[in-house]
Amino acid sequence: MGQPVTYIKAINQAMHEEFERDPSVFLLGEDIAEGGVFLATDGLREKFGAERVLDSPLAEAIIIGACTGASLVGMNPLAEIQFADFITPGVDQIMQNVAKLRYRSAGGFQPHLTIRVCCGGGVGGGLYHSQENAAWFMHEPGLKIVYPSTPYDAKGLLKACLRGKDCYLYFEHKKLYRSIKEELPEEDYIVPVGKAKVRREGRDLTILTYGYMVQISLAAAERMEKQGVSCEVVDLRTLLPLDKEAILASARKTSRVAVVHEDKRTMGIGAELAALVQEEAFEDLDAPVLRITGPDIPIMPFSPPLEDYFMLNPDKVVQGLEKLAAY
């Protein structure tokens, strides 16, 4: 084990190592050659040259379109969407080409790429630097969506994507970038796509969550423990396809399930999780699946009290869990 590293450093390391390992990896995005707003891509251009670390024009569709095309002739593209909020101009390419090209050519063309997307709120970024919109993409088989919550996973999942053959959306929560550190193995490792992880074992209820909300959920679980309620925290890690086995195993074990996500509620990821759990584990449930989520308002507002109102925190999660435990 080496020095403890932050989540963003882990991402940076993964890129450095995969650039080294695979000469066909390249990075295309806005404002990345100098290291980017958060220094996620720090040092890549210096080390691997401007031919592999390309600042793109301000145009998300072509970032994704060009990467997809380049993957058809043997490149291994890594695209960066600077803020998740700005993925919308690229939605056309993601939905119509990335998610569907393999399918509609019956595998004749095999696009593969990884799109890193910096998302999430709680940093005073306001409306357009806080969106947490992975939900839009979960409706698209053909895509895979990963969303690490720890430095270890951040590195391991990014490496898995860069070695995989599919089209990956890799969401990274900016609030995690520098708020947690972890010692990482010296040796090469990956975290497999498609596998959830139990972050905390528990008996009385299950929390299904991912990304930054894992931290919040663990804090809430800690407090519930003191009230005598033992919470299991399942970190989904991959949102598409979901690790149904792990989700249902925990649901069946505890019989009470909460979903915790930062994004707004209606048609958020919690909708699918609740639908799935009640569908497959109905007889095991002692209470309805509870969604503890952001409010159904269009976008995270800027003013601090409004942002606080939007963001979940351990207090709000505990409130929900108490209700669930008492059901």
Taking alpha carbons only, the member of 7, 11, 56 closest to residue 29 is 56
Binding positions for a copy of itself, 222-241, rule CB under 8 A: 240
Residue 24, judged by CB atoms within 10 A of its CB (0-12, 13-18, 19+), counts as middle
Q: How far is the CB of 172 from a copy of itself (least distance, A)?
A: 20
Among 18, 80, 85, 172, indicate the residue that binds other proteins (CB under 8 A): 85
Per CB under 6 A, 72 contacts ligand TPP: no
Closest CA to 14 of 132, 124, 153: 153
CB of 267 to a copy of itself, least distance (A): 4
C-beta of 110: minimal distance to other proteins in Å? 6
Among 38, 109, 136, 309, binds a copy of itself (CB under 8 A): 136
**Beta-strand relationship, 53-55 and 113-119:** unpaired
Using CA atoms, how far apart are residues 202 and 266, in angstroms rounded to an integer? Answer: 28
The position carrying tokens 């090469």 is 188
Binding-site residue total for other proteins (CB under 8 A)? 71
| 45 is a site residue for other proteins (CB under 8 A) | no
Binding of other proteins by 53 (CB under 8 A):
no
Residue 139 is a catalytic residue: no
Sign, Cα dihedral of 294, 133, 18, 101: positive
Instruction: Return the DSSP state at 289.
Output: P
Chain residue at closest Cβ approach to ligand TPP = 86
Separation CA 215–CA 301 (nearest Å): 22
Which residues does the annotation mark as catalytic? 129
- By CB under 8 A, name the binding residues for a copy of itself: 85, 88-89, 91-92, 95-96, 99-100, 103-104, 127-128, 133, 135-136, 138-142, 240, 242, 264, 266-275, 278-280, 282, 285, 287-291, 296-299, 301
